[in-house]
Copies of this chain bind each other. A is one copy, B any other.
Amino acid sequence: MAKTSRTKKEQPIILITNDDGITAPGIKALVEAVKNLGKVIVVAPDKPQSGMGHAITIGHPLRLSTVQLFGDVEAYHCSGTPVDCVKLAVDKVLHRKPDICLSGINHGANHSINVIYSGTMSAALEASIESIPSVGFSLLDYSIEADFTGAAYYANLLVKQLLGKKIDKHLCLNVNIPPAPKELLKGLKICRQAYAKYEERFDERQDPTGRKYYWLTGEFQNFDKGKDTDVWALENNYISVVPVQFDLTNYQLKTTLQKVLTKKH
């Protein structure tokens, strides 16, 4: 990785975080999958943080503690969000930028619009904002007993490839793995983000005192017929790889707006 300061003899530093919390089986699978590729350091939330998006903690302070959960791998849990974990790891644990930041393996899908809500992907995107190449991994299986064998195999393969190449310091990959046995997976496929989302509604319920409350629910719908999308790839047993960016400018709309909103005020 030419754009970092690592010399040939040094091991790459691999920072690992997630959003399911430090005790989730998925992060353990990721640590095991890549620990032969460099020096792994884990800084992950001390509790589940799914759906936190790119939240950061600004109104109160953060705690950070060492924890023994991954054998001889240095690990810390943090009271903040996934994004907080990345920031705190760089400033107070590593005291430098790692060579790569990995997030996951998430229990559940982060393809299509999920990338926006996902703490897993926000941690990866934060790293990329900080000029640290990053990859978020998600397995399409929410269960605590999910089988990470295939996901772990491809995580190792992809990270090894990335560490062996000159890569963009802002690289951020959103990798989703179908919930299939390893031997049925067809390999990595570079994709775009599908326009597919949850059609949401709220269950309206009553608490024991008769007051209403609302619980988010909904069904996934794919509005995108493209065969170059992450949703298509996953439905066809490919591992989807979407390069993700933090420049949210809609350049096409920018050009249109320059024509329609240029009246004198």
Contact = CB atoms under 8 A, between A and B. Distances in A.
A27 interface: no
A168 B200 CA distance: 22
A46 to B, nearest CB: 14
Please classify how large the interface on chain A is, using the bins under 10, 10 to 19, 20 to 34, 35 or more.
Answer: 35 or more
A8 interface: no
A53 B50 contact: no
A29 interface: no
A253 B245 contact: yes
Given A161-B263, A257-B243, A192 B249 contact: yes
A254 B62 contact: no
- Copy number in this complex? 2
A250 interface: yes
Majority secondary structure of chain A interface residues (helix, strand, loop or mixed): mixed
A62 B207 CA distance: 11
Interface stretch (A33-41, A86-94, A99-107): A86-94
B53 A265 contact: no
A129 B113 contact: yes
Contacts of A192: 247, 249, 251, 254
Contacts of A180: none
- Interface-central residue, A57, A87, A247, by most chain B CB under 10 Å: A247
A91 B201 contact: yes
Interface stretch (A10-18, A67-75, A114-122): A114-122
Contacts of A168: 253
A144 interface: no
B246 A242 contact: no
B56 A261 contact: no
A210 interface: no
B54 A59 contact: no
Contacts of A264: 187
B61 A50 contact: no
Interface of A: 48, 50-59, 61-64, 83-84, 87-88, 91-92, 113, 115-117, 122, 125, 129, 154, 157-158, 161, 165, 168, 171-172, 174, 187-188, 190-193, 195, 197, 200-202, 204-205, 211-216, 241-251, 253-254, 257-258, 260-265
Given A62-B215, A245-B253, 5 more contacts: A53-B83, A168-B253, A191-B254, A241-B261, A243-B250
